[in-house]
Chain A
């Protein structure tokens, strides 16, 4: 038997002699509430203990990269919404920055500020869902309902901005599609005030709840070396104790102007890189997002929202560029190959959840099935961007 089994105190000699001991192959998903979407995990188990886990993905595949080759740069923005449908603003942001970097165009100040505000509000509500559903996975029903309460307020702001509540298509190459409505700043300030107060309540309700800590601390440990090797980014990497964030370490847009800290896992309740660390990084990031939103609101100028040197039909110069930005799940990158025409020759999407999920093959073996659920929940995957 492997070493991993002995860590759970289960020894071979504990097994009754007449007990069958071959591995059982079971499916978790594709329709399973704990897989956060249409994900299938093929699990080989020995009783409660996982020996091997193979994620099977692709149920939501739409080949958006093929579609990208058939439409021009602007038209494809709507498809980025559909990747991470819990954080479309971050996806829009990533793609807009990628194309703008190739064009080398400037985005007006007002548009940059509204972009940052939207991206950070989006990060907050994406983390709220992560927090709520993770609680749900651990058997806590209540936090989810409170999370949706605050999410609703931010969705109302997005609805007034863009017309959509889920898929916004709000960013455009070179700026934004619509200007902010009158009273936008007040609405955002209100929700930031509410959020900062409610986050304390979440901490009391869930983060420092004894049962929750018991279920998540020391479970599903992913260390920094695994994160680098498997390309894990975002809260998974930061949960492993690495304070790396594209907003700080590979700055884009106007993030270099704001003061904020990068929370990272310190193993407060267990080992560095356990489920609780990944979880608490998200909660603390919400505070930091609130800080960024406040600063962006203070500095938001009046002016145009669309760059004037971007033509209607965008044609980036020949060449390729990989641009990455920090979405709520991690590093969203677009590797765009241009032939000088109005359509990309190849547009590859590097989605954060795709790499984050891959590490499950490494950390899965040796876990109990219920801890596997905790680990998947703490990775906070979205199948829309894994399958693209």
Chain B
């Protein structure tokens, strides 16, 4: 089925909650965030739709996005010349978003759903009940972008440590100077300043050993 036809079908069923057709490189639809799970279910179970596979779920921070198409979006923070993490007072404002890339094995058609939520309340209904594979992808989006998914069975960090602060894929994320005892300023771990007591001298090999 053509993406325009899928869009029309969704439009018929969900009315104004399905916004315009997205048609740049790939085709899809922007949808109202509150009804993502319902729309996902309709896409999976619809007779001519059969989107049985969620190929990819992407969390995006739209902060600082250049709408003019000139590619002048806000640069991410990195390290300055001395190797220290750069800092900025800029607080992110833009929306957060999620993109769902769908595929139907039966019909061989693709479709992409896009949802955008305000940064102050980044909540979306979880689609892990529709496609179980979304569970880990949503955990990743929570971990790296800071999206919250209501109804998710086990929403916790997946790639980063449980104690990590902040969400690295946010555009206003600032790298910490130090994390635990590990210096994050580009200094090699082995060269870090240690206290006298921390130095562990390996025992000398026993004389006559076979080492």
Contacts and interface: CB of A to CB of B under 8 A. Distances in A.
Contacts of A333: 55-56, 101
Interface residues of B, number: 42
A319 B65 CA distance: 12
Interface in B64-90: 65-66, 69-73, 75-76, 78
A208 B56 CA distance: 37
A63 B144 contact: yes
A320 B24 contact: yes
Given A228-B105, A335-B101, A61 B25 contact: no
Contacts of A255: none
Contacts of B60: 337, 345-346
A358 B135 contact: yes
A339 B56 contact: no
Contacts of B155: none
Contacts of A320: 24-26, 99, 112
B17 to A, nearest CB: 21
Contact of B55 (A69, A331, A337): A331
Interface size class of A (residues with CB under 8 A): 35 or more
B52 interface: yes
Interface in B15-71: 24-26, 52-56, 58-61, 65-66, 69-71
B169 interface: yes
A249 B106 CA distance: 11
A44 interface: no
Contact of B131 (A102, A229, A345, A362): A229
B206 interface: no
B159 interface: yes
A63 B168 contact: yes
Contacts of B52: 228-229
A96 to B, nearest CB: 16
Contacts of A338: 71
Nearest to A54: B154
A339 B168 contact: no
Interface in A30-65: 57-58, 61, 63, 65
B78 A335 contact: no
A57 B158 contact: yes
Contacts of B168: 63, 66
Nearest to A227: B53
A317 B24 contact: yes
A315 B58 contact: no
Given A57-B158, A228-B105, A358 B66 contact: no
A345 B76 CA distance: 10
Contact of A61 (B76, B136, B160): B160
A99 B135 CA distance: 28
Interface string A318-335: 111110100000010101
Contacts of B101: 322, 333, 335, 350
Contact of B76 (A70, A228, A244, A342): A70
Given A58-B159, A58-B160, A354 B136 contact: yes
Contact of A322 (B55, B159, B160, B169): B55
B76 A69 contact: yes
A72 B132 CA distance: 34
A319 B108 contact: no
B144 A340 contact: no
A340 B70 contact: yes
A335 B131 contact: no
Given A66-B76, A335-B56, A340 B65 contact: no
Nearest to A349: B56
A303 B158 CA distance: 47
Contacts of A358: 132-133, 135-136
B177 to A, nearest CB: 17
A354 B134 CA distance: 11
A234 to B, nearest CB: 13
**B58, B65, B66, B144, most chain A CB atoms within 10 A:** B58
Interface string B156-192: 0111110000001100010000000000000000000
Given A61-B160, A66-B76, A333-B101, A339 B133 contact: no
Top 9 closest A-B pairs, CB basis? A341-B71, A319-B24, A231-B133, A321-B25, A350-B56, A58-B159, A348-B58, A322-B101, A340-B69
Given A70-B75, A338-B71, A388-B159, 7 more contacts: A58-B157, A63-B168, A320-B112, A331-B55, A340-B71, A346-B61, A358-B132
6 contacts: A70-B76, A231-B53, A244-B105, A340-B70, A354-B136, A358-B136
